[in-house]
Amino acid sequence: MPLALYALAVGAFGIGVTEFVIMGLLLQVSGDLHVSISAAGLLISGYALGVMLGAPIMTVVTARWPRKATLLALMAIFTIGNLACALAPSYLGLLAARILTAFAHGTFFGVGSVVATQLVAPKQRASAIAIMFTGLTVATVLGVPFGTWLGQLAGWRATFWAVVGIGVFALVVIALLVPRDAGQIEEGDWRSDLRALARAPVVLALLTTVFGFGGMFVVFTYIAPMLTQLTHISEQAVSLVLLVFGGGLVIGNIVGGKLADRYLETTLIGSLLALAAVLGLMTFAVHDGIAMVVFVALLGAASFATVPPLQMWVLEKSNGAGQSLASSFNIGAFNLGNALGAWLGGTAIDHGPGLPALPWIAALLPLIAAALALKGLRASRVAPAACPSQ
């Protein structure tokens, strides 16, 4: 695989740390800024909504830019946003800084996914996307546990200072390793691309992503309080459990990519059903330490096995119309799912059955996603969409 893919993975690593590390620091942030755990959880929802809004906006703004310049500009925004997080004087200041940082997220993964697919042979496209997203999984394996440990040791702000350093490093390696002519600038008008993306198969594919990934975040957003309050694992051990979760992510991401290269539709449906099964069965493991650690690993594997097929599914359903825009919209859909999951979990904690019910509530969402994917399959076969140029 080209070295440029690994440069993209470094950028994905930094973004992954920023997105996920706050989940291991909810208790520290809520205590330091004097807000509830559910209010601290909105820092995750706010970031996710920032991705959802920023992805199409930044993709349109940078549509005529060289792809490498776009990636570098987005990493600069990411680095500045994390600097603002480290210096945030209040909860609202931190929320605003998280939203600023999120504006780089969707378009980086969207443009990066398209660049990745154009650097390899057609039969390796899902695997190329998986390599870039490996940065996200390694962030969870190494970056998030380290960031959680650092935040517990030196305060949550120290974690964001560390991420600033990661951002600077990512800028350097992308500048050095990504070819200047990586990918092709897309022709056409973004308005016509938007109209093409409004077709039923694309909309169904995006909704599949929202519900498929949302289920994981119902649980993962509140994994620290679940582990400490239900499973009675110490706060210091949370980072070790997150390390196990990250190991599952790496395995699921790689396997999902390789399977999606060969059996895209089967992998898509199968991974969603596997995720629903893992979440449903986790309901019976929340009070047992060993069982919970096993299911956290399985959750990581099942959730990220869905990522390469979901991303390739949207690229295929876009049928060539504005692939960067389609890819960015799908990253926004991932993060809308994150926001939906965090909100649904917080609602269950504050006004519903509470922490023990989160896994079975979460299991409902990938089941909805699988149904949407099947509907999308039928829609594509009954009335295949024509390319916008036809």
Please report the pLDDT score of residue 224 as a whole number: 82
SS3 annotation, the chain: CCHHHHHHHHHHHHHHHHHHHHHHCHHHHHHHHCCCHHHHHHHHHHHHHHHHHHHHHHHHHCCCCCHHHHHHHHHHHHHHHHHHHHHCCCHHHHHHHHHHHHHHHHHHHHHHHHHHHHCCCHHHHHHHHHHHHHHHHHHHHHHHHHHHHHHHHHCHHHHHHHHHHHHHHHHHHHHHHCCCCCCCCCCCCHHHHHHHHCCHHHHHHHHHHHHHHHHHHHHHCCHHHHHHHHCCCCHHHHHHHHHHHHHHHHHHHHHHHHHHHHCHHHHHHHHHHHHHHHHHHHCCCCCCHHHHHHHHHHHHHHHHHCHHHHHHHHHHHHCCCCHHHHHHHHHHHHHHHHHHHHHHHHHHHHHCCCHHHHHHHHHHHHHHHHHHHHHHHHHHHHCCCCCCCC
Task: Write down the pLDDT at residue 319.
Answer: 63
Angle at 143 (CA atoms; ends 330, 283), nearest 5 degrees: 70
pLDDT at 233: 86
Q: For residue 386, what pLDDT is reported?
A: 42
pLDDT in tens, the chain (390 residues): 678 888 888 899 998 888 878 877 888 888 888 888 778 877 877 887 788 788 778 878 887 788 888 889 999 999 999 999 999 888 999 999 998 898 888 888 878 877 887 777 777 777 787 788 788 778 877 887 788 888 888 888 999 999 999 999 999 988 888 887 655 555 556 666 676 677 777 788 888 888 988 888 898 888 888 888 888 888 778 878 878 887 888 888 888 888 888 888 888 889 899 999 999 999 998 888 899 999 999 998 998 888 888 877 777 776 655 666 777 777 778 878 877 888 888 888 888 788 888 999 999 999 999 998 888 777 666 554 444 433
- Please report the domains of the chain, with CATH numbers, ordered by start residue: 3-381 (1.20.1250.20)
| pLDDT computed for residue 177 by the predictor | 84
